[in-house]
Amino acid sequence: MNVEETLKKVGLRLTDTRKAVLSLFIDANKALSHSDLEEKLADCDKVTLYRTLSSFLEKDLIHKIVNPDGVAFFALCKHHEHTHHAHTHLHNHGHFVCKICKETRCIEDFEIEIPTNLLLNSQIDEISVVLQGTCSNCIKIQNRV
């Protein structure tokens, strides 16, 4: 996934912040919170970061996951590389949240099937499926002590 090409494709102007934030998401391989991003982008102010995330959400480059503590995390939209249906795509995959380290990641191969009658009679805007537990890293640490 090329940062500059991706930004151009969705019609976003190339700025240093946008390039830096998108690179972080590509490299992270997990969901990132505001504070994760602020930590990694020390010289970027909060307002610029907030606007960058809003523009990425609007262009479906990323999606938002709210963890059980109410903290917002953001993760790259993987389907973007294949087909892009702006404003019509739903994230019906689940997310795993570690109760100990709070790591949040997309479980792409765990998908929720929406009942057809619900799809016909209602409008679904968001799906939030969060699986809570202990991640493999934290299990390893627990077993050591």
* Nearest distance in Å: CB 141, Zn ion: 8
- For tokens 């590509």, the residue is 26
* Nearest distance in Å: CB 43, Zn ion: 28
* Residues in contact with Zn ion by the rule CB under 5 A: 60, 63, 75, 77, 98, 100-101, 103, 106, 135, 138
User: Which of 92, 110, 101 minimizes the C-alpha distance to 142?
Assistant: 101
* Nearest distance in Å: CB 45, Zn ion: 27
Contact 136, 96 (CB under 8 A): no
- If the CB atoms of residues 14 and 101 are measured against Zn ion, the closer one turns out to be 101
For 133, the enclosing helix (H) or strand (E) is: strand 130-133
In 26-103, DSSP assigns E strands to 32-33, 62-66, 72-76, 93-98
> Any residues with CB less than 8 A from the CB of 131 and at least 6 apart, and which?
94, 95, 96, 97, 107, 110
- If the CB atoms of residues 18 and 31 are measured against Zn ion, the closer one turns out to be 31
